[in-house]
Structure 1
Amino acid sequence: MTDRGGDGDGGAREASDGDEASGSAFDDVTRRLVQRLPYGVKRLLAVPYNHVQRVRADRAFARRAREFQSLTPGADAPRHVVCVVVDALRADVVDAETTPFLADRRVASAVTPSPWTFPAVTSLATGRYPHEHGSMRQSDDVDRGATDLVIPPTLPDHERTLPEVFAAAGYDTYGGFAFHMPFFALGGRFATNRVYDDAPADDVLGDFLDWFDGRRDGRTFSYVHLGDLHEPVDPPAPYWDRYDVDDSIEGIRRWRFREEAHPGHEGERYRDHRRRLYRAAATHVDDRLAVLRERLPDDVALLVTGDHGEALWEQTSLDRRTFHDSRPAYGIDHGGTPFEAIARVPLAMEGVDVRSGGGTPSLVDVAPTLLDALGQMEALATTGCSLSRGVPGDRVPLVEAARYGHEKKAAYRDGWKLVVSRGDDAAVGFDLPDDPGTTAREADLPADVEAALYDALPPWPDGSDPERRVSGMAQQRLEDLGYV
């Protein structure tokens, strides 16, 4: 049931062609055997499978840590850093009514470097864009990801990430992942790794707090990835009641009416209640985060963000007529066209000073910001900026590394946005609203802005690094989450 390649540490493995061919053949046989098992058997096997993955990831970190060069935290470095990523958390869901805990701590709306998890969390942990770290789809083809689960290359073993810098500075590190996709990207980069099968926030945060409580007197860095807003969406019953979500609507926990701009009365009712369900889940997560904060010490540095947002039919017509989606799913979910509902995520912070600086924050700024707090700004070569020093007003944030359809890239400047798909032969300009909850309007860009944004777009993927298929067990887990 191997899915990590080589020694299972998520890094690149050097091997002969014969070794690679042999390993690939073994994986293919294992995958076929697992796929033939009854679903219930696969679910039972998930517990030992996850345990094996955790052990392998912990061992991989231990091997990697032998080569760390010791670093010294700054005099003002926080003793505890907790970074929580809420999967599919869009910026405009953070308001005083829906998510009061996050609203009280919100410092900015940020742009994600990618519209799906794997490249986005790799960018968060490295401070670099997907075209720089390489953990993105390696082809501009329409994509086979809608029917066959292929994931990008992980970071090479020798490349360091944010948690590894904190580990080198004497921090005990923890990575908790509610489901497998973020673990595929970052597993093995923490001293303690935990991965689950679409576990609810209570389970993921509870296990983290059990780990944390025994380390209060030391120094810790923690990354916790929650999946409650990701398909299938199913918060506890009181939250369904609070938002008056009709549980009898067929398939309400998953995506339906994925293509039609005007799906009729039944479709509109489904969409209305699906939006309500999303807010219900967001409120549930916000409540769990408030409980988490009560259990943490007063001097903790806490950061909460999303890896990407979630589209809820804001621009279905534009998406369908302009871009190809291999699922197909237009104007919903994530992983496709980086409309603002997907590209914008909230940044909520406590215990870290933040300055505006005039520019638009990006998730590539998370690593340099926390490194700045540690007093080790130079420990990683990052593209991002420390939010404690401010984002330059002329910085051009980027979004790239789509999962579905042709590759799509976006760039921002002065309230304008350009989305380009070479494979679709399409380029669309947007006039961005001041309110992140308002849909951006399609617009003709000023000529100088359009030229500057075209120039800022990074190169398209050329297939130079191999993509990977996951094991049969892992594919079953991700199919349950709607990845295939």
Structure 2
Amino acid sequence: MSRPDGADDGSALDGVTRKLVQRLPHGVKRLLAVPYNRVQRVRADREFAGRADGFPALSPADDAPDHVVCVVVDALRADVVDAETTPFLADRLVDAAVTPSPWTFPAVSSLVTGRYPHEHGSMRRSDDADRGATDLVVPPTLPTEPTPTTLPEVFAAAGYRTYGGFAFHMPFFALGGRFDTHRVYDDAPAEEVLPDFTRWFDRRRRAGDRTCSYLHLADLHEPVEPPRAFRQRYEVDDAIEGLSRWRFRETANPGREGDRYREHRRRLYRAAAAHVDDRLAALRERLPDDVALVVVGDHGEALWEQTALDARTFVDSRPAYGIDHGGTPYEAVARVPLAVEGLDVRPGGTPSLIDVAPTLLDALGQPEALATTGVSLSRGVPDDRVPLVEAARYGHEKKAAYRDGWKLIVSRGDDAAVGFRLPEEPGAAATRADLPADVERDLYDALPAWPDGTEPERRVSGMAQQRLEDLGYV
């Protein structure tokens, strides 16, 4: 079966093709991306259609929502959601959830399965420190057997029409082939992704269909380029060179120029969050009153909160310390907002993104359709659960575990561990000695196995690699 993601399943990179693509002018590459994306979309639609006939027939509950919309805002950290910056999300905020992974591919795979990366397998298989910086490898995709294996496939088996809209390629690589209808873009803004979805939604609603949709927005992901009106609102200095991308990445003391860059990069991030919130409010106006709406980040975004500690403690293969995502799961990266409308959820405990799938399965009336580790938020999170973060992209593998307000971050390859009491962030000299002995032992015991490189990763080739390089993945 052909793959929807442009990957070559582990064979050697086609160096000649890639060099030819790299030499093309940027505008030409963008034009070539249009037919490339169309081909990937058609392949993904066909892959889903080829498997959908094998889905078992499931019956939704009498009170199941007619329409479910799950929006993932890439790199949306929890603490940016407040009444001033993001009033739409703030009004619907349930809690700050813990992501199961600090980067997109494993995180969204967990979102649609309700399982941790070490359980579903879509995570990096090597603990090598240099992986992910100079070449582009992606984890194995989720299995297709037994069916259904993901949340949208369960809804399809229950008679819902399903839609996956992806503003850029990485989440599509993870989830392509799981929906009736796919749309994948070349780093498109919300103004393009959301209207395309609403046109599809309006057609399906007029036809009397039930729908389940997944939308992945990239406006907070590098390059960060919100509309001018939002940059002006937050007094972003557009004259600062390279502000939409990452600079001053490797030092805790970048000097006066670096400090100014960092301050305005933070303003730019907040401006982008305000812009996305505005677009989500407009989307909500186009949806029926009884829609079940979930909005989350797939991971957060570090903005130099832990540069000194990160550089002192962990290897980063880019290198980049205390910024971006994919590296050490400090709170800025590990905590994402969980906003909900139209679902009965109970506050309390520490929710995780692995709870989204069981919550929506509960609403569907099919709580046993997937074997999830997560729990339905309509039933509540157990007080004794130990949430996990794993599957780092850069440097050695780094894992984190939470218990009773304590957090432990461990890297076997770095021979390092950092423990601290929440909600305070660790200081530059933090060590695991900061944890009580019994808490440290329990958190170590909760950590899953480390990757050993025995299972293959996949290289991305041709146009796909070029598009991800433009997004800062290499």
Deviations 1:164-188 (A, max 9, x none): 0000000000000000000000011
In structure 1, the partner of 2:298 is 307
In structure 1, the partner of 2:417 is 427
- Say which SS state the counterpart of residue 50 (structure 2) adopts: helix
Shift of 1:476: 1.0
In structure 2, the partner of 1:255 is 246
- Say which SS state the counterpart of residue 368 (structure 2) adopts: helix
User: Does the CA-based 8 Å contact 2:408-2:443 persist in structure 1?
Assistant: yes
RMSD: 1.6
Deviations 1:272-303 (A, max 9, x none): 00000000000000000000000000000000
Matched, 1:61 2:48: yes
Matched, 1:188 2:183: no
User: Does the CA-based 8 Å contact 1:35-1:472 persist in structure 2?
Assistant: no
User: Does the CA-based 8 Å contact 2:296-2:339 persist in structure 1?
Assistant: yes
Matched, 1:411 2:401: yes
Shift of 1:471: 1.7
Describe how 1:30-179 pairs up with structure 2 within 5 A.
Answer: 30-159=17-146, 160-179=149-168
Deviations 1:90-113 (A, max 9, x none): 000000000000000000110000
Shift of 1:439: 3.5
CA distance in 2 between partners of 1:480 and 1:151 (Å): 16
- Say which SS state the counterpart of residue 378 (structure 1) adopts: coil
Give the letter aligned to residue 101 of structure 1.
F
Shift of 1:155: 1.0
CA distance in 2 between partners of 1:107 and 1:261 (Å): 34
Matched, 1:452 2:442: yes
- Say which SS state the counterpart of residue 339 (structure 2) adopts: strand
- Say which SS state the counterpart of residue 211 (structure 1) adopts: helix
Deviations 1:344-394 (A, max 9, x none): 0000000001112x4210000000000000000000000000000000000
Structure 1 unaligned segments of length 5 or more: list them: 1-5, 14-19
- Say which SS state the counterpart of residue 167 (structure 1) adopts: helix
Question: Percent same amino acid at aligned positions?
Answer: 80
Taking structure 2 as the reference length, the TM-score comes to 0.96
CA distance in 2 between partners of 1:209 and 1:365 (Å): 26
Matched, 1:284 2:237: no
In structure 2, the partner of 1:3 is none
- Say which SS state the counterpart of residue 131 (structure 1) adopts: helix
CA distance in 2 between partners of 1:260 and 1:440 (Å): 18
User: Does the CA-based 8 Å contact 1:10-1:155 persist in structure 2?
Assistant: no
In structure 2, the partner of 1:341 is 332
Q: Which deviates the most, 40-49 or 282-291? A: 40-49
In structure 1, the partner of 2:286 is 295
User: Does the CA-based 8 Å contact 1:137-1:151 persist in structure 2?
Assistant: yes
- Say which SS state the counterpart of residue 377 (structure 1) adopts: coil
In structure 2, the partner of 1:320 is 311
In structure 1, the partner of 2:372 is 382
Matched, 1:402 2:400: no
CA distance in 2 between partners of 1:12 and 1:94 (Å): 36
CA distance in 2 between partners of 1:111 and 1:144 (Å): 25
In structure 1, the partner of 2:229 is 238
Shift of 1:29: 5.2
Shift of 1:35: 3.7
Give the letter aligned to residue 204 of structure 1.
V
Q: Which deviates the most, 300-309 or 28-37? A: 28-37
User: Does the CA-based 8 Å contact 1:162-1:367 persist in structure 2?
Assistant: yes
Shift of 1:472: 1.7
| 210, 222, 232: which one aligns with 2:213 | 222
CA distance in 1 between partners of 2:264 and 2:13 (Å): 45
